Copies of this chain bind each other. A is one copy, B any other.
Amino acid sequence: MSGRGYSSIPFADVRITSPFWRERLDVVLERTIPSQHAKLEAVGILDSLKLPKPVPPLTIPRNSHGFTMQVFWDSDVGKWIEAASYALAHRRDPGIEAKIDAIVEDLERAQSPDGYLNCWYNGREPEKRWTNLRDNHELYNAGHLLEGAIAYYRATGRRKMLDIMEGYVNHIASVFGRGPGQKRGYPGHQEIELALIKLYRLTGDRRRLELARYFIDERGAQPHYFNEEALGRGEDPASYWAGTYEYNQSHIPVREQTRMVGHAVRAMYMASAMADLALELGDEGLRLACEALWRDVTLAQMYVTGGLGPKETNEGFTEPYDLPNETAYAETCASVALVFWAHRMLHLDLDGAYADVMELALFNGALTGLARDGTHYFYSNPLESRGQHRRWDWHVCPCCTMNVSRLVASVAGYAVSAREDGVAFHLYGGFETAVVLAGVKVALSEKSAYPWSGEVRIRIDPEAPATFDFALRIPGWAKGATAAVNGERVALAPANGYATIRRTWRKGDVVTLDLEMPAERLYAHPNVRMDVGRAALRRGPLIYCVEEADNPGAPVQTLALPRAARLEAEWKADLFGGAMTLKAPAKRLVPGKGGGALYSTEPPAARDTALVALPYHLWANRMPGSMQVWVAELDN
C-alpha cells in the first residue's frame, strides 16, 4: 500500500459529536466569534474598512522602525470571517452572516477600480502601495481576506467576497511575476501562498497555483527583492531592523533551506505552502526541502507541547535545543500553523510521524491559546510560570485570537482523509462524515471519549458492499493497540503509524480500536539544557503540567517526582466539565538543615506529598499561580 494520494475531507463535511470537541466548538460558536466581532468593532478595525473617509489618527503608534501594527488589520478581518465561516458550517447564524455581509460591502467599496484592496493603503497612503512588501503585510492581508472569502463561500455559497478577492488576485498576478514590467516581489510575511492554493482547489484555476509557486520559488532569489525595494524607498537595505532576512526566511531560496529559522509563524506558513505545492505539482525538490525542515524542527526546535519559537525578539527560532521554558515565546499562531504544516505533510505521505505532531500541536500548543470561557487568550505559551502569566481578552496584535478560533472551528477537517479506495482516520474524538470509496458512498461514524480514552468505535455504512482500505492511525504514544471488526479481533500490522484493514465492508460493520494510553514520563534530549534532570508527563495526546491550583502551598517548582513513582490517571468530573488528571506520590522540596538560607551546603529536604497534573491546555483558567511542564525528577 502506498501512503500517498490521500486528501482531507473538507471541514464542512465532517460533523463533531464528541463531548471534548463539541464543547470547544460550542464555546467558539457562542462566545468567541461574537466577542471577537465586538472587539474588532471596539478597537476600530471594522471602522478602518469604511473608505473613503478622513484619515483618523493612528490607534497603534508607529514603533521606532516607523511600523504600526494597524497595517495588518485587514488580516484580522479575514481571519475572523474564516473562523466564523467554519463555525457556520456547523450551525448557520443569520446574525453573524449579516455582520460578514456588512464587512463584504465595506470591502467592495474600499476596493480600487484596478482590483487592489488594502484598507490601510487605500485609506492612508494609496501612492505607497507595493513599496514595502518586506514589512507592511500587503500580500499577507490579501491572503487572509482570500482565505476568509473561500471559507465563507464554502460555508454559505455566497460568492460576493470571493468575487472581490478574485479580482484582487487578478490584480496581484498582474503586478508580480517574472514578466516584463512586473515586480519580482513576494510577501514579507508568507500566507497568500496558502490562500492561493485553496483558491485553486476551490476553482480549479491553475493560475492561482502558478502564482503561489512563483511566490515560493522567487523567495530569496538574488538580487534580493527586499534590498531593491529598500533602495527604492531611499533606505539602506543594511539598516533592516530585523538584521537578517532569516527573519522572514528569504535569506536563501526556499529549496536550499534545511534549518528552520526566523519568525516561526512565517516559517510555518511557508512550509505549509511548500508541502501543498510539492503535492499539487509533484515537486520532489520542494518535498525534500519540507522533509529536511521537518527533521530540523522536530528533532531539535520543538517544545514538548508542539510550541515553536523560543524567542520574543524575532518571534521565532534560535538554535537547536534552545528551548527555555519560562520565557518560551511559543506563539499560539505558530502551533496552529504547525498543525497546518503537519496536516499537509500527512497528505504528502501518510506517515504517523506527521499525524503525531499535528495532534500534539493541536491538543497542546494551540488549544492552550483559547481560554475555557472562549473570550480570553494566550499569545505566548510558556512551559513554566511563577504565576506572572495571565490570559488577556485582546491583544494589540490579535493574530492569535482568530487563529485559534479558526482552528477549533475547523478541527473536523483534520480528522479524516480519503482517496479513491481508502479512508484514513488521523484523529479520533467523535467525527462523522460520508465519503465515496471505491465508487460507493460510505457513511462513517466514529465515537470515542478521545483524548480522555483510547477506546474508539467506528461504524461503517456503505450504501452497498465496497472494498477499500480502512487506515487507522496508531499514535506514536500508544503503548499497544488492538482492533476488532464486528467484535472479531484482527491482527494489526501498523506501517508508518497506520494500521490498514482492507476488506469488503458492509453496512453496519463496526471497527473497534483500543489504544493503550498509560500516563508516562517524557525525557528531553540531554542537549536541551533546561530539561536535564526533569520529566514531562503525557497521557495519550495530552501533555500535562503541574499547576499551583491543584498543588497549593508553595511554587510548583519545588515539586519533585521520583522516577519510580507510579502515575495514576484520575477522572475529575467537576473540573472544567470533566478532565483526566494525573496523580503521583511525589516530594515537596523544602529547606534542609541549611534552614531558610539562600545557599547552603545542606541539600533541600524532600517531604512526601502527592502531585496532581493537569492537561497543559487547561492551565491558567483558575486562580493565577505557578505552573510547570518539566518537573524535577528524583532518581530514587
Contacts and interface: CB of A to CB of B under 8 A. Distances in A.
A239 interface: no
A60 interface: no
Contacts of A601: 520-523
B632 A635 contact: no
Nearest to A534: B533
Contacts of A300: 598
A318 to B, nearest CB: 10
Contact of A603 (B324, B523, B599): B523
Interface in A589-612: 589-592, 594, 596-604
Contacts of A368: none
A322 interface: yes
Contact of A302 (B532, B598, B603): B598
Given A563-B603, A603-B523, A299 B598 contact: yes
Contact of A636 (B526, B532, B600, B636): B636
A443 interface: no
Nearest to A360: B599
Interface size class of A (residues with CB under 8 A): 35 or more
Contact of A600 (B298, B322, B523, B599): B523
Interface stretch (A44-52, A74-82, A399-407, A553-561): A553-561
A59 to B, nearest CB: 18
A525 B603 CA distance: 9
30 contacts: A64-B64, A298-B598, A299-B597, A304-B599, A384-B529, A521-B601, A521-B603, A522-B599, A522-B600, A522-B601, A523-B592, A523-B599, A523-B602, A523-B603, A524-B598, A525-B594, A525-B597, A525-B598, A525-B599, A526-B558, A526-B589, A526-B591, A527-B555, A529-B558, A529-B628, A532-B560, A532-B604, A533-B633, A635-B635, A636-B636
B533 A632 contact: yes
A634 interface: yes
Interface in A260-311: 298-300, 302, 304
A532 B520 contact: no
Interface string A17-35: 0000000000000000000
A8 interface: no
A484 interface: no
A590 B526 contact: yes
A449 interface: no
A536 interface: yes
A557 to B, nearest CB: 3
A528 interface: yes
Contacts of A160: none
B529 A557 contact: yes
A302 B600 CA distance: 13
A335 to B, nearest CB: 15
B532 A599 contact: no
A227 interface: no
